[in-house]
Amino acid sequence: MRHFLISILFLSLAAGCSSIGPHRIDVQQGNALDQENIARLKPGLSRSQVRFLLGTPLVVDPFRSDRWDYVYLYYKAGRLAEQKRISLFFEGDTLVRMEGDVPPAASPAQSPPQDVQP
């Protein structure tokens, strides 16, 4: 009877630990780029307005001060689950161009209807 109980205990432990290995935590790195705030970016905004929307850029090249790079990486259980990158280009204090994972501008047919007051 004792060997039977030990066998049952061993089998239940082995079934519960089917994936033996180190625990991998979820890791977020960089700027959490909210799609709503990214959609608000448009040419003509000042550097302070961009910083208000997206936060301080992750990468500012000291040799090219006219470019800000925002990078976001999300690792789930050690595997890359999400990656976003946006590069913003300035002339003086004004945003002139955006590259990277920028959502397309909504056309009038796609934009939600506006509330109409009777």
Domain count, the chain: 1
Determine the pLDDT at residue 103. 66
- In-domain check, residue 14: no
SS3 23: coil
- In-domain check, residue 4: no
Model confidence pTM above 0.75: no
SS3 17: coil
The DSSP 8-state label assigned to residue 26 in this structure reads: -
Determine the pLDDT at residue 61. 78
Look up the domain containing 62 and give its range.
Answer: 24-100
Strand partners, 80: 75
What's 61's domain CATH number? 3.30.1450
Please report, as a single letter, which amino acid is at residue 101.
D
- In-domain check, residue 115: no
- In-domain check, residue 18: no
